[in-house]
Amino acid sequence: MPFTRFGRTIRKIGVIGSGNIGPDIALHFSQNLYAYGVPVVVVDIVQSALDAGAKKAESKMAKAAEKKIFKKEAADAIFKNMTFTTDYGALSDADLVIEAAFETFEVKNKIFTRCEEVCPKTAILASNTSHLVPDEIFSKMKDKSRCLALHYFFPAERNIAFEIIPAKETDPALLDYSMKFYEFIGKAPIPVKGRYGFALNPIFEGVFLAAALAVEKGIATVKQADAITQKALGMGVGPFTAHNLAGGNPLTQHGLNGMTSTIMPWYRSPKTLDELVKSGKPWEAAGKGEIVDYSPETYKAVSDKVIGAYFGMACEIVGSGITNISDMELGVDVGLVMTPPFGMMNKVGIKKSLELVEAYAKENSGFKVDDILKKQAASGQPWKIPVVLREDKGDVAIVKIRRPKVLNALNEDVFDQLRDTFADIQKDPKIKGAVLTGFGTRAFVSGADIGMLAAQKSAEEAEKACLKNYSILGLMENLGKPVVCAMNGLAFGGGNEIAMSCTARIAQKGQKVFVGQPEPKLGFIPGAGGTQRFPRLVGVEKAWPILRHSNPISSAQAKEIGLIQEEVEGDLIEAAINWVKDILSGKAKVPSIPKGPIPIPSTLPEVDIGHLSRKIDELLQKAILEGAKMSLEDGLKLEAKIFGECFFTKDRQIGIDNFMKNGPKVNANFVHQ
């Protein structure tokens, strides 16, 4: 049962190299493709490396079973799906082969020469590299169209950041396939043009360099610079601690020296790093739980420098044209676990950001102040950071909400960008219809960002926010062009409400947890049309229990009640495009949502609301039943008013406080007031 999707079939995957990262790459493939019957083979010429790699993979799966990330049966199957061998012949039937060996052209060239001899001529050949450009890696290959470079991040089986770097002769269709394939198996791929170090390593290694230079100049100790940089940039761990954990000193030394001539002269290996690489010693960073003391003056001196360097590096990378602001923000956020630079500049202020970069450049020879930052500061406007992306496929616009860290949750930026995107689509004569989807496979949209709701200060503010969102969803609903929602994962709360404003809805087949309106669990009612569109689409009787008990239904149940039009087994986006075309041609008939009053059955099913607030349930019932007697427009206004009325209950605050403190799995102790 091979993996067939996006126009290619993967029957077997090979990973060459069983060192630090190869086994983790192989493990990620096995975790995501073992259920399709796609075996993963790891090849290395050193048996001891293979033994160590197998032991590492087995240990990781045992821990995953202990933590209940995977059931024990699945964990065992994932490991058994992997083979470790010295036989290159095991790659003779592989459809995708990734080299993960030493970071030298000589070694990589030798491996790919062998791959060309052994692997099928149709196989994708990829090199995992953190610095080397693909045109040089594949310079001796006969068919470069099937080759590209990849950059996994530590740890490769869990870190979703992923850079894809095509060579100049890489087939564009292969890049398109790779983006879809890796997104499907759980990565957040960003395409990057081939420049030494790519988009993210110059940030990771450059932040380390800025901290190291602060130490060398006597501004702070290693421990202080580590702690201050971590705090200033919102890092998971400080740069020196990160290098100790990953054993990254030699690679960073090599990378920084390579960036001197390829990016800007400021990049180079500092003396302190050279000394530690020579001695093999780690950095003297703080131990676990150790508190590092520093004065406010020391904090400001170090933080100003690392922030100035950080902003300057980010602008140089985007200004070079190898990536864009949206992809840079995503990669830094999920891959490097740092506060993304352009959003941070918006908070600091663009003028102040430029001052910090210019001050750093003045003190550090060879540091570049890129023109894009100067122009942005001169404009007086913040950076635009797209989280709603548009890609046109012929006469159909594909619109994707991309916020993987929060499962594509809605915030003001998402709503505003949806408005702007669909307004542009409406005015674009080349576009006949649109597909709306979410990033990844876990969620279409997981709901509204609870932080956004918690920040609301009054009933009036809450009601006003609802009315604003209605105008955006109304634009989609009345676009004059069909909009098909491709529900690639769960759709909770606002996610389902956005989907219901589309012309039609289709979903990936077999989603056991799919659609729900969980708002009563948080102490309020739906506020983006859920109490009005849901009953109009499926009938009051069917919507009544789902809205009141707040528990999710499966994609099969959603299809059964008429909430979605189809469950799709294959490529969801292609299916959605076909739906757009069929609606346009009249082949597919999708009933429009009733705009007037709808019938209310004389009796409605009893609903056990369990621990949920009876006060909120009373308001919810009022919104559903009174709204059904009105036009959709008036019903939405009623919903907004009642959403605001939730502010006057004790249970709204109890529900939000409980969620912010304990997450969604702990029930709130409502008082029904």
Q: Which residues carry out catalysis? A: 497, 519
Taking a C-beta distance cutoff of 8 angstroms, is the pair 558, 514 a contact? yes
Burial class (CB within 10 angstroms; exposed 0-12, middle 13-18, buried 19+) of 478:
exposed
Q: How many CB atoms lie within 10 A of CB 586?
A: 7
Taking a C-beta distance cutoff of 8 angstroms, is the pair 646, 619 a contact? yes
Burial class (CB within 10 angstroms; exposed 0-12, middle 13-18, buried 19+) of 663:
exposed
Helix-helix angle 201-216:249-262, to 10 degrees: 100
Both structure tokens of 595: 């705009």
Distances in whole angstroms, Cα of residue 133 to Cα of each of 109, 164, 493, 668:
12, 11, 44, 53
Cα 612 to Cα 669: distance, rounded to the nearest angstrom: 9
Residues near 518 by beta carbon (within 8 Å), at least 6 away in sequence: 447, 492, 493, 550, 552, 664
Q: Using CA atoms in the order 200, 203, 208, 212, what is the torsion angle rounded to 10 degrees?
A: 150
b/e burial code for range 170-186 (CB count within 10 A of at least 16 → b): bbeebbebbbbbbbbbb
b/e burial code for range 332-366 (CB count within 10 A of at least 16 → b): bbbbbbbbbbbbbbbeeebeebbebbbebbeebee
- The label of the residue with tokens 């870190």 reads 159
Residues near 149 by beta carbon (within 8 Å), at least 6 away in sequence: 126, 127, 128, 129, 132, 133, 134, 137, 164, 165, 166, 167, 194
How long, in residues, is the chain?
673
The string of DSSP letters for 532-582 reads HHHHHHH-HHHHHHHHHH---B-HHHHHHHTSSSEEESS-HHHHHHHHHHH
Cα 275 to Cα 256: distance, rounded to the nearest angstrom: 15
Bridge partners, 538 (sequence order): none
Both structure tokens of 655: 């529900």
Bridge partners, 433 (sequence order): 396
Residue type, 326: S
Residues near 623 by beta carbon (within 8 Å), at least 6 away in sequence: 525, 531, 532, 638, 639, 642
Taking a C-beta distance cutoff of 8 angstroms, is the pair 548, 488 a contact? no
DSSP state of 282: P
- Residue 131, SS3 per DSSP: coil
Q: Using CA atoms in the order 523, 526, 531, 535, what is the torsion angle rounded to 10 degrees?
A: -100
Q: How many CA atoms lie within 13 A of 539 on its CB side?
A: 10
* Helix, strand, coil percentages for the chain (3-state, nearest 5): 50, 15, 35
